[in-house]
Amino acid sequence: MYGKEIKKVLISKDAIAKRVAELGAEISRDFKDESVTLVCTLRGACVFYADLARAIDTDLEMDFISVSSYGAGTSTTGEVKMIKDLSSPIQGKNVIIVEDIIDSGVTLSYLKKLLEAREPKSLKICSLLDKPSRRKVDFKGDYVGFEIENEYVVGYGLDYNQKMRHLPEVCVLSPEVYGG
């Protein structure tokens, strides 16, 4: 369907939609009658973030942050760089960081410590994907869509060289494309 760049579809758009609805319902139950601030980690989580926000049935504030430990390559440098900070204070608020994938855990571990220092009421992590085999630090998400094997995935916000984010499914990139 996609051509030689894509090895296979890993998670269909229907499976994603179903799981996002389930995550939204779970978050709605956990924060019933409370306000939640969803923090989108740019750019990869933007598609998931938009769908998740619409699936949550409680008062929501939305904000964006951008940090990276990848630079121009496909593996973490271990050094995290702040690219865009939050627009509003989070002290005393219920905060959920929305991420596309928990991979090495380096970036999210840094981000969690950074935001915990701002004294939110609560701080949770919601990730579409979790790739525990790649973990470099001990890190777990609070709300996780799918656990996946160590394959290079694109689509539904995830990219390869800023391309393929628009694909409606999560797909495995052919190793020939990225030299894997």
Catalytic (active-site) positions:
103
Please give the structure tokens belonging to residue 75.
Answer: 């593996």
Characterise 164 by phi-psi region: left (phi > 0), alpha (psi -120 to 50), beta (else): left
Cβ atoms of 17 and 24 within 8 Å: the answer is: no
Q: Per the structure block, which two tokens stand in for 159?
A: 């990219």
Compute the C-alpha angle 34/40/42, nearest 5°: 175
Q: Phi-psi region for residue 172, left (φ > 0), alpha (ψ -120 to 50) or beta? A: beta
The contacts of residue 60 (CB under 8 Å, 6+ apart) are 35, 36, 37, 38, 53
